[in-house]
Amino acid sequence: MGSIASYFGNLCGGEKKQEEERYLRANDRPLNLSYRYANNAIKTSKYNIFTFLPLNLFEQFRRLANAYFLFLLILQLIPKISSLPWFTTAVPLTLVLLITAVKDARDDINRYKCDKQVNNRTVEVLIDGKLRKEKWMNVQVGDIIKLENNQFVTADLLLLSSSEPLNLVYVETTELDGESNLKVKQALTITGDIGSNIEALARFNGEVRSEPPNNRLDKFKGTLTVNKQVHSLDNSKVLLRGCTLRNTEWCFGLVIFGGPDTKLMQNSGKTTFKRTSIDHLTNILVLCIFVLLATMCTILAVGNAIWESRDGSVFTPFLPREPGVSTTLSPFLSFWSYVIALNMVVPISLYVSVEMIRLGNSFFIDWDRKMYYPKNDTPAQARTTTLNEELGQIKYIFSDKTGTLTQNIMAFNKCSINGNSYGELYDFAGQRVEITEKTERLDFSWNQLADPKFIFHDHSLLETVRGGNPEAQAFFRLLALCHTVMPEEKKEGQLNYQAQSPDEGALVTAARNFGFVFRSRTPETITIMEMGRKVVYDLVAVLDFNNVRKRMSVIVCSPEGKLTLYCKGADTIIYERLHPSCNKLMEDTTGHLNEYAGDGLRTLVLAYKDLEESYLEEWRQRHHEASTAMEEREERLDQLYEEIEKDLILLGATAVEDKLQDGVPQTIEQLAKADIKIWVLTGDKQETAENIGYSCNMLREEMKEVFIVAANTAEGVRGELQKARRKMCPDAAEEPSVVKARAGLFWLGKTETVEDEKVDGDYALIINGHSLAFALEKDLELELLRTACMCQAVICCRVTPLQKAQVVQLVKKYKQAVTLAIGDGANDVSMIKAAHIGVGISGQEGMQAVLSSDFSFAQFRYLQRLLLVHGRWSYLRMCKFLQYFFYKNFTFAFVHFWYSFFCGFSAQAVYDEWCITFYNLMYTALPILGLSLFDQDVNDRWSFQYPQLYSPGQLNKYFNKKIFVGCMLHSCYTSIILFFIPWAAMHNAVRDDGKEIADYYSFALLQANCVLIVMSIQICLDTCYWTSINQFFVWGSLAVYFAMTFTMNSNGMFVILTSTFPFIGTDRNSLNQPNVWLTMFLTCLLCLLPVVALRFILIQICPTINDKVRYKARKEVLPALAPHRRLPRRVSTRRSSYAFSHSRGYGDLVTSRRFLLKRPIRSRPALFIETDLPLAENQPQQYRTITEEPEESQSP
């Protein structure tokens, strides 16, 4: 009843107060319903059976073009105004509305079905002491529910107990955040003791106070009060709706948030609607067309007034005026009559046609086998179908590094221990030996728990560890203890690790193979095998990783009672906390880090510290107080962590390799040739990103200079940026040249554009995170933009997700260029949403980037095909479509305009009414649709051979305001020829029998014939790539026109509907006259000959890049595939350090202070099935057509 009351309260306008705190009591529905919390039903559909028609029509008529044509239809129903039958507007408008309504209805029905399916799922709910099956929609806040293995989580739940040891549960969060790896949650001790005791659960009356509903997936703050004892709640105790229970027989949970209040639904807000630059331009042009229409109608209305005053009285005896229409009123009515007659200039079918073209080109992306990645069975996907042509105009690409340019599959490669470097091989002469697949691997058969997939080659490291070297053993002991990895032992000796990041998994696996095997953990212990000996460490505390700390630590107690803090993190962070006695060792380790940087490796520094028991007890007490605080919990914990992580003793450093994806250097090289600037925005250390930049061809040794901005103050950053700018362009003005202009619909918006400055030579800019923070401030952002845009490549290091979005928005704001952001992780989502085009890579970091993207695929190398082929073709097709569309509509309307001067400005139509009705719908629709779907200037192979073909799209050369004016002038010329040549030829002309040819009906038919033939030949001239479909559409449409004309002028139609089809026999009487055919031939020739001549002259005098490549394509065979070349690994002295970019670990979860359920490990389904990781084949991309006949045909 409470939910019903809530519903009607909201329906009647009762405003719900902003919730400041969520309070509930378990098993107390009356109390919880009194707070009017939302139930668990969801509704994402927009309509129902009663509201669909009015709401959908309301939404459609909010579009300017639809509202305008509705206004026209109303005018046509007024007899004194209308010069055309109502159906000439009603039929096109109805079809447009119907097509859009069907699409909207289909989408909403799908949403409704999904809602219904979810709401009708069943779950066991504890009601009146018994478990009952209930639909999800009937679950209320405060209910206790039971979930079983592989069930979806019903609502946002507080985990109470589970079937697993330690009350752990495993959840898959694919639907929530796209991550495919399992997450681990753990119940509180106080609730875990209840287990599956139904009576105890029914008596449970714990009270929860928590934060109000919000969209933060990674955070939760609250408390649980049981028996007057307050227990802290965080994200590790909560199961979120959208997760799936895995590898857990059962669990019980308390509903905290239901339905629209769940974090899943809070995150499903409306995505920003992206519109292309052509969309914005088209809206402005449509507004200009309205002005043009009003101007034309005003001119004709004035003409009507003059004609009525001079000649109108002469015609009054046999053309009497309408009752009540005087000479003064006639011009006013004439104005509105011409608004109806000339409505063809306003393109009602434009928007529907554009959407159909975009949808078709999106299918070509989905179907492209050359962008399909078979190893992961991942095809390319156009997730947004409204941005295709924007892909052909990209000027700036913003890319993540890890998982986007690199594979994000980590391998332990090298390490530095106590000043000695391991991982390289040397011959007897001391020369470095290259490691290949044939190089002998280490034999780990002595270790029965070793991972057989682990590969290492340096025998000296294994000998050092097995020889008992204390530093080496402490090094791997730290790797085995300092982590938040969760182990799964399917059966004795078969370990599987669940890690939060591939880096951490690689390090724990390395320790495992070198004799320090992480075996299991409990909330208070960690069990490892040290060189075959089982050692159990008491886990005192986990000082977890976060983006600010960039390190993690554990405090453990050995069986001998020795307390030790083990820490690993980024080198700059750890170095600040080392004991002064480590200075010499730090210098040696830094030298090794410099060597690892040359190989583009990701590094961590390891250190430890022995602790006193008395100090630790006092520290733990303060830690407990901070961890249970409701206010400033994280800040207080950070202060405690800073206090204890001091005076560390350095052990060494690890180096993990993250290889480049296949084809990345070649792709970046191709995109650079297309004049696309690439900026890398990464969370990694400067040196790592810099060396990856060299590896992937972004940075090149032949560049004049690579500027590094690393100042720690705003003035320092300003100075470094200005110094770089002055060196690149000494003559540039000190103040940027900012061009201000009006833009947008009705020119209400304002734009500021920083003009490009010419630079002699190639430069690059590298800026780190703290410098970027200053550079993005209001007074420095233009200086950053000027300097960065002068460079061919820009790398921003150690940046936060927010900074990534800010950089993208800065370029969008001041460069007025089209941007694309590409990434594969959740930290790239803000950047992907901020850019004009967002591309997600389905990689190792989950699917969050893909879910937020406009386009997605599996490998970075497919980006060049997406842009240089699909993007360029889509842009070219859309521009050709718009040029032809405006040309044919203006021509059709302008003929009306000229005819008005010869019909007394009476708004009489020059064409047959049915020709007007079907002109855009049938006669000219399919030919341009065929061109817009299949046309290509050159095939994909030539597009790759000459990336410069992409540049005109960046400059909007194919369709802009100048091109639009050209279309109007072309239409004006064509309309003059189409009207005056037939008029002059037919004026006073007679047939062989002496009768006149030029009656109104015959002249209208002649006009329509000429227009349709000229439009058909014009589309043939515009088509570069002919297919059978194009041929069928062009000649089929012309055939349909003549078939319809003969049918409507037939005796049969006249007999059936005499008033509707009065043109009886007109076609037969006209088309049997030779002078009619001669007139049609002359008219078409004069319309088209100048077009052919002008194009011929332009190609000869000033050919475009497209003309040159097309000429070359006709003369030469297809270019051969570019041979794959390996880029030599670069040697550098720049140090690299891994920025610790993985997400927060399981630190809080694994440090519960009580062993909850001591149960033996039993057999159950594996947490993960180990499979070979899909390394990309080191082979070049082969561009073959689907038909395997590249010489003869190409698929779009």
Catalytic residues: 400
Q: What is the dihedral of CA 429, 431, 434, 440, to 10 degrees?
A: 40
- Order of strands across the sheet with 649-660? 420-422, 406-417, 649-660, 602-610, 563-569, 551-557, 533-543, 525-530, 516-521
The gap from C-alpha 746 to its chain's centroid, in whole angstroms, comes to 30
Under a CB-based contact definition with an 8 Å cutoff, are residues 45 and 115 in contact? yes
CA dist 910 and 827 (Å) reads 62
Q: The tokens of 927 are what? A: 């030919």
Under a CB-based contact definition with an 8 Å cutoff, are residues 872 and 947 in contact? no
Buried b (16+ CB within 10 A) or exposed e, 919-952: bbeebbbbbbbbbbbbbbbbbbbbbbbbbebbbb
Under a CB-based contact definition with an 8 Å cutoff, are residues 765 and 794 in contact? yes
Under a CB-based contact definition with an 8 Å cutoff, are residues 1172 and 729 in contact? no
Question: Quick count: other Cβ atoms within 10 Å of Cβ 917?
Answer: 19
Please give, one letter per residue, the 3-state secondary structure of 498-532: ECCCHHHHHHHHHHHHCCEEEEEECCCEEEEEECC
Question: Quick count: other Cβ atoms within 10 Å of Cβ 1?
Answer: 8
CA dist 1176 and 659 (Å) reads 10
Q: Is 346 helix (H, G, I), strand (E, B) or coil?
A: coil
Q: Comparing C-alpha atoms, which of 553, 555, 535 is closest to residue 544?
A: 553
Residues 6+ apart with CB under 8 A from 869: 940, 943, 944
Burial class (CB in 10 A: 0-12, 13-18, 19+), 152: middle
Under a CB-based contact definition with an 8 Å cutoff, are residues 165 and 1157 in contact? yes
CA dist 424 and 841 (Å) reads 33
Residues 6+ apart with CB under 8 A from 1165: 247
CA dist 686 and 1130 (Å) reads 16
CA dist 218 and 214 (Å) reads 11
Question: Quick count: other Cβ atoms within 10 Å of Cβ 18?
Answer: 6
Phi, psi (degrees; rounded to nearest 5) at 484: -120, 25
Pairing of strands 705-709, 763-767: parallel
